[in-house]
Amino acid sequence: MSFSGNLFLVIMCLCSCFLRGQHKKMPPITKEQLLEQQDDVFTDASAKIIYRDIFLEFGDVLKVREARKIYTNEGLEYSDFEIPYDEAEIIEAKTYNLEDGEIVITEVQKKEVIANKESKDDIDYIIPFPNVKEGSIIEISYVVEDIGMWVLYYQSILPIEHFHLAFSNPTPVELTLSRNGYSPVELDVIKKDRFLYYTGKNIPALKREPFIGSLNNYRGRLFIEVLMNYRMYKIRDWGDVAKYFNNVSWGGGNFNDLLSKRSFLKSETKRVVGGETDPLKKAYKIFSYMRDRMEWDGYYRNFGFSIKKNFKTKTGSAGAINVLLAMMLREAGLDAHMVMVASKDKGFIHFITTDLFNYMTVHVEIGGTYYLLDASRKNAGFGELPIHFVNGDALLLYNGNGHALVSTQSKVKSQNTLMVDVNIDAENLRLLGSIKKRLSGYHAWSHRDDYQESEEGETYDKDFEDSHNFLSISNLVVKEMNNPDRPLSIYYSFDWEESVEEINEDIYFEPLLYLGLEENHFKQETRIYPLDFGFPTSKKVKINFKIPQGYEVKSIPNSAALTTPDNLASISFNCVSKGNQIQVSLNLDINQGIIPTEYYPSVKEIFAKYTEVSDSKIVLSKI
């Protein structure tokens, strides 16, 4: 399994005599370690890191030593070691086994090391250890010269028994070291002479949980950064960070200078706005114009050309496009400013930093409400950032180096609404009906991204049929596919064979058809990380079943309603019989994009109820 180039920092917690910035020879692998069948703390682990020892003199040398124990057949996937440095020198690499009561060592030969220069995961070398089996231990040591590093990981996808990092900075440049405050992993740290020593023991493995957003938000990691402004003064607070970005050369000047040089947009702004005086409507017009006019070149923050040239050629980075958007909003008299954002893979921003911000978007405040706008994506709606950049707080840059931290979380619910009429073919045990589906916000954006390039609806109906056995879709109509300023409307007819079951002349079928919950991801008893749904969302389903002649209702599922504390999520389900019809309704609301861990039990209960009603049955009997 790939470690994706992550450097996990581990070593034994040894006596104080080791804390000298020197590599003491690690204790030899023992028979007891080779005989060990499971870890005493992490009893379910298929493999573990016995120790990882990192020695880093910033800008000079990196030394890494690591040993891994393989417990089970599943743990064999961790027997290939990956090195993310192209100039690494492998000192030794060995496999240890116990055979006939004796330790047998098999060394990795240089010819067996795989150079992985074409990897997209920043993995430069792969070391396939030989003769690895259940019970084996692998051990490696390597050195990298002349290296400066910006992030070090002290948590792995394997549990870590012993950890140690010895860090020093022999350069004249002052560094700032920041630990990820969202990680539950605690480290001991002491300073001695010119070294900092970070140590830990029995560090739990990273656990991939559903709806986690980015695992990097919660990974134990250490950030190393040179916090200096453009005049080489130390950055001490968010105000200094704002000054840094305001005064970095953006096309020849600072942000305020750049945004004021907008005379070339004057006539076009007047044409786009027309006679509109309502500030929000003006913002909508300008946003739609810039989004539809400009083509994103795939880069985030870079300014490859002058802003004026970007406008003329109708292409540019996301940063250039959004600077143009801010310019035009200002030209129209609106209060627009730039915002620095970090992508999900960078993690939440919670400490003073300049390196982690890798994206720019626009903040506009209208009537006491602020909106974050990004005109670089063709399917973006007003106030919607690409979901990869909906990531905690962002840094708002006001005029004159003022600043504020603003949330990137969406404040508007994305809607998924379905209206369904169903006829029950009791004789052929099938359901036939029609669906009207309306998608807004991120639901519409996602659908357009997935299916816009195909002929209208062609891929959508095929995908839907492929994911539901015996389902056929016809008469598909998709409206507003190419208009991201409007909700998306989808209409189709369906014929679902073998969706009705007959037992003793009674017929059974699911009240939510194939629109219920297909898989419940919230079965674990406890939750480590917050629930990241990405954005607030609402799913509303209304289904009207027509009871066939000669049948009557024998039983229907019970109604249900659940809400979390503080109304962060809720579900309501109703099923009623009226005349020759059965009316089913479901409302599922997630009212906050990120829900803290302490609410997990109540969220789990909501999705358990969602599963229950999805799997329930309506029963009709012959009259």
Mean pLDDT of the chain: 89
pLDDT reading at 130 higher than 60: yes
pLDDT of residue 1: 34
Binned at pLDDT 50, 70 and 90, residue 26 comes out as low
Q: Which helix (H) or strand (E) holds 471?
A: strand 471-479
Binned at pLDDT 50, 70 and 90, residue 253 comes out as low
Distance CA 337, CA 321 (A): 13
Report the candidate in 288, 297, 341 with the shortest Cα–Cα distance to residue 318: 297
Distance CA 552, CA 546 (A): 11
One-letter amino acid at 533 equals F
Distance CA 552, CA 426 (A): 12
DSSP helix/strand/coil, 193: coil
For residues 19 and 367, the model is more confident at: 367
Contact between 124 and 86 (Cβ < 8 Å): yes
DSSP helix/strand/coil, 522: coil
Distance CA 89, CA 144 (A): 6
Across 217-231, 311-325, 330-344, least confident range: 217-231
Report the candidate in 250, 358, 248, 259 with the shortest Cα–Cα distance to residue 305: 250
Contact between 561 and 573 (Cβ < 8 Å): yes
pLDDT of residue 110: 81
pLDDT reading at 9 higher than 50: no
Distance CA 510, CA 617 (A): 5
pLDDT of residue 577: 95
Q: Write the DSSP string, 554-592.
A: EE-PPPEEEE-GGGSEEEEEEEEEETTEEEEEEEEEE-S
DSSP helix/strand/coil, 495: strand
pLDDT of residue 304: 54
Tokens coding 85: 């440095």
**CA angle, corner 344, sides to 342 and 345, nearest 5?**
100
pLDDT reading at 465 higher than 90: no
pLDDT reading at 24 higher than 60: no
Question: Any long-range contacts for 450-456 (C-beta under 8 Å, 24+ apart)?
Answer: 451/478, 451/481, 452/379, 452/481, 452/482, 456/481
pLDDT of residue 230: 67
Q: Which helix (H) or strand (E) holds 315?
A: strand 315-316
Q: Which helix (H) or strand (E) holds 64?
A: strand 61-70
pLDDT reading at 5 higher than 70: no
Provide the β-strand partners of residue 82: 126
Q: Percent of the chain scored above 90 by pLDDT?
A: 73
For residues 120 and 530, the model is more confident at: 530
pLDDT reading at 20 higher than 60: no
Contact between 155 and 201 (Cβ < 8 Å): no
Binned at pLDDT 50, 70 and 90, residue 190 comes out as very high
Query: How many C-beta atoms surround the C-beta of residue 252 within 10 A?
Result: 11
pLDDT of residue 302: 67
27-to-24, 51, 165, 352 alpha-carbon distances in Å:
9, 11, 17, 40
Q: Write the DSSP string, 220-270.
A: -EEEEE--B-TTSPBP-SHHHHHHHHHHS-SSSS-HHHHHH--GGGHHHHH
Sequence length of the chain is 623
* Burial (CB count within 10 angstroms: exposed 0-12, middle 13-18, buried 19+), residue 175: middle
Tens-place pLDDT, residues 400-458: 778 999 999 998 999 999 999 999 999 999 999 999 999 999 999 999 998 887 654 45
pLDDT of residue 248: 73
**Domains (range + CATH), the chain:** 16-225 (2.60.40.3140), 238-407 (3.10.620.30), 414-622 (2.60.120.1130)
pLDDT of residue 120: 47
pLDDT of residue 405: 95
Tokens coding 492: 């189709």
Does the global pTM surpass 0.85?
A: yes
Across 268-282, 347-361, 555-569, least confident range: 347-361
Average pLDDT over residues 213-220: 88
Q: What is the 3-state secondary structure (H, E, C) of 143-176?
A: EEECCCCCEEECCCCCCEEEEEEEEECCCCCCCE
Distance CA 7, CA 224 (A): 13
Q: Tell me which range, 1-10, 141-150, 327-336, 349-358, is most confidently predicted by mean pLDDT.
A: 327-336
Phi, psi of 609 (to 5 degrees): -65, -40
Tens-place pLDDT, residues 71-105: 999 999 999 998 888 788 999 999 999 999 999 99
Contact between 95 and 106 (Cβ < 8 Å): yes
Distance CA 323, CA 366 (A): 18
Query: How many C-beta atoms surround the C-beta of residue 408 within 10 A?
Result: 18
Report the candidate in 140, 158, 142 with the shortest Cα–Cα distance to residue 94: 140
Average pLDDT over residues 270-291: 97
Binned at pLDDT 50, 70 and 90, residue 560 comes out as very high
| 166 Cβ contact list (under 8 Å, min separation 6) | 19, 21, 54, 55, 56, 195, 196, 197
Handedness of CA 219, 222, 224, 225 (dihedral sign): positive
pLDDT of residue 86: 78
Place of tokens 């879709």: 473
Tokens coding 485: 């300023």
Distance CA 60, CA 396 (A): 37
pLDDT of residue 550: 93
Report the candidate in 307, 340, 331, 339 with the shortest Cα–Cα distance to residue 321: 307
pLDDT reading at 21 higher than 70: no
pLDDT of residue 467: 82
Distance CA 327, CA 256 (A): 10
Q: What share of the chain is helix, strand, coil (3-state, %, to 5)?
A: 20, 35, 45
Average pLDDT over residues 120-129: 73
Distance CA 239, CA 227 (A): 13
pLDDT of residue 12: 28
pLDDT of residue 17: 33
Tokens coding 26: 């690690």
Handedness of CA 451, 453, 457, 460 (dihedral sign): negative
pLDDT reading at 13 higher than 80: no
pLDDT of residue 402: 86
Distance CA 466, CA 21 (A): 60
Q: Percent of the chain scored above 70 by pLDDT?
A: 91
DSSP secondary structure letter of residue 202: E
Tokens coding 236: 């001490």
Average pLDDT over residues 208-216: 89
Place of tokens 């786009």: 272
